[in-house]
């Protein structure tokens, strides 16, 4: 949150000219008086003032002094400023989880009597917020098929305050035309919130296509090694500082300094990791597509993905998740999962370790069979988050698990 990102060099760098990889390694760094090279972990909940006058001035907003780690913390600021530099956002506020990022971003945009339109291709908990929770507080919600611009156009023909979607979506990797939906949303008076967890700013920068707010589950690729939970909301200074920060400050879904430290170090290697995730996923997707037990492979980087061209237009590469269907359904999917020797059965994703899950009985169980059918999730669907192992070992594991 706070600006303190002054590189203490004899001559100061023009950080606006830094390329993404330099931003990922050096963006937002605050050095303490000890001049440490690696980002320091400020494991403190409070801050001491040099005088009562300084405390008063800080609470009046006249000083940049940190007050309390629910409001801000130097390690948390480093993570927020580095991620903002990567997304090209004016400001960032981090949160304890990806779900608190989604929820608090929507809370900051909506009030009773308002309306939200969302793609139905949402992670299960986002689905719950839009379809069950917000309507309880007098916010009307409508779900559309995220890939169908006609449905967006119809739903956005009424005044609307917020639009929410993921692209690529979890778990079916559907792609939304970010620019086209942003244009329709803005005509309806809505702000667009885009969940960029699957692409990360390395592959897709939604603010450049017109999105107003980007949210992240930093738990996924930003950590990248399955260690911590975290989330982030990015957007204009006006939205983040004036609308979101007061809610976070008073309601408290703040990111812990320790988790922020893990995540800020995670950003340093994000580009390298994503490059390898993409290469490994492509190799795995091509192998699975040629296997007779597999009915359908969804990977936005393959020309047979229904929205491959759109994905290529708005993403620089296609990510680390591959989703596929076993022709023989649930028993075959379970049998394959149970035979895996390297890939773990886990509902997390974006880890260095390859992880596979059966969405119909895990992440997307609660949305019900009817909604799953609308999303294309079958009983044979497996979502595979391809990790950073040697791709040939992952491929060999999948092939042996598929059996004869």
Residues that bind ligand PLP (CB under 6 A): 97-99, 102, 123, 126, 166, 170, 195, 197, 217, 219, 229, 231
Query: How far apart are the C-alpha atoms of 99 and 123, rounded to whole Å?
Result: 10
First CA to last CA distance, the chain? 55
Q: Residue 102 or residue 267: which is nearer to ligand PLP going by CB?
A: 102
Tokens of 116: 């939200």
Q: Residue 66 or residue 120: which is nearer to ligand PLP going by CB?
A: 120
CB of 326 to ligand PLP, least distance (A): 22
3-state secondary structure labels for all residues of 325-346:
EECCCHHHHHHHHHHCCCCEEC
CB of 229 to ligand PLP, least distance (A): 5
CB of 379 to ligand PLP, least distance (A): 21
- Which residue lies nearest ligand PLP, judged by its C-beta? 98
Q: Residue 30 or residue 311: which is nearer to ligand PLP going by CB?
A: 311
CB of 211 to ligand PLP, least distance (A): 15
CB of 355 to ligand PLP, least distance (A): 11
Q: Residue 100 or residue 280: which is nearer to ligand PLP going by CB?
A: 100
Query: How far apart are the C-alpha atoms of 353 and 40, rounded to whole Å?
Result: 27
- Among the listed residues 65, 119, 69, 72, the one whose alpha carbon sits nearest the alpha carbon of residue 91: 72
List beta partners, residue 213: 193
Query: How far apart are the C-alpha atoms of 327 and 329, rounded to whole Å?
Result: 6
Q: Residue 98 or residue 266: which is nearer to ligand PLP going by CB?
A: 98
Query: How far apart are the C-alpha atoms of 213 and 345, rounded to whole Å?
Result: 33
Burial class (CB in 10 A: 0-12, 13-18, 19+), 203: buried
Q: Residue 24 or residue 215: which is nearer to ligand PLP going by CB?
A: 215
- Among the listed residues 312, 315, 302, 298, the one whose alpha carbon sits nearest the alpha carbon of residue 377: 298
CB of 122 to ligand PLP, least distance (A): 8
Q: Residue 188 or residue 364: which is nearer to ligand PLP going by CB?
A: 364
Q: Residue 27 or residue 253: which is nearer to ligand PLP going by CB?
A: 253
CB of 168 to ligand PLP, least distance (A): 9
Residue 157 CB coordination number (10 Å): 11
Supply the DSSP string of 32-87, one letter for each residue. Answer: -TT--SSPP----SB---SSHHHHHHHHTT-S----BTTT--HHHHHHHHHHHHHH
CB of 389 to ligand PLP, least distance (A): 21
């Amino acid at each position: 949150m706070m600006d303190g990102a002054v590189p203490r060099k004899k001559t100061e760098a023009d950080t606006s000219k830094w390329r993404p990889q330099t931003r990922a390694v050096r963006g937002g760094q605050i050095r303490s008086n000890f001049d440490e090279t690696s980002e320091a972990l400020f494991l403190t909940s409070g801050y001491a003032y040099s005088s009562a006058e300084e405390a008063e001035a800080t609470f009046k907003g006249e000083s940049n002094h940190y007050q309390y780690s629910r409001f801000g913390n130097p390690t948390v600021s480093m993570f927020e400023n580095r991620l903002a530099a990567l997304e090209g956002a004016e400001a960032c506020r981090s949160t304890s989880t990806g779900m608190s990022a989604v929820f608090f971003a929507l809370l900051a945009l909506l009030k009773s009597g308002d309306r939200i339109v969302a793609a139905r291709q949402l992670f299960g908990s986002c689905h719950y917020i839009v379809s069950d929770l917000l309507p309880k507080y007098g916010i009307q919600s409508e779900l559309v098929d995220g890939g169908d611009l006609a449905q967006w156009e119809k739903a956005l023909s009424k005044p609307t305050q917020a639009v929410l979607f993921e692209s690529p979506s979890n778990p079916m990797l559907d792609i939304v035309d970010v620019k086209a939906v942003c244009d329709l949303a803005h005509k309806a008076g809505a702000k667009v919130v885009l969940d960029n967890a699957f692409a990360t700013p390395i592959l897709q920068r939604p603010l450049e296509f017109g999105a107003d707010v980007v949210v992240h589950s930093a738990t996924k690729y930003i950590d990248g090694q399955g260690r911590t939970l975290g989330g982030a909301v990015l957007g204009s200074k006006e939205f983040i500082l004036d609308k979101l920060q007061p809610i976070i400050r008073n309601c408290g879904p703040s990111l812990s300094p320790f988790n922020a430290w893990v995540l800020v170090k995670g950003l340093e290697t994000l580009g390298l990791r994503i490059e390898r995730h993409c290469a490994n996923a492509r190799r795995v997707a091509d192998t699975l597509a040629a296997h007779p037990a597999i009915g359908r492979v969804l990977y936005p980087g393959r020309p047979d993905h229904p929205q491959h061209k759109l994905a290529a237009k708005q993403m620089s590469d296609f990510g680390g998740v591959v989703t596929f269907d076993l022709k023989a359904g649930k028993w075959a999917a379970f049998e394959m999962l149970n035979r895996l020797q390297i890939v773990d059965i886990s509902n997390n994703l974006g880890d260095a370790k390859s992880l596979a899950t059966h969405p119909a009985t895990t992440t997307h169980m609660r949305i019900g069979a009817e909604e799953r059918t609308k999303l294309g999730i079958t009983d044979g669907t497996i979502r595979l988050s391809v990790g950073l192992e040697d791709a040939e070992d992952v491929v060999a594991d999948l092939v042996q698990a598929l059996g004869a």
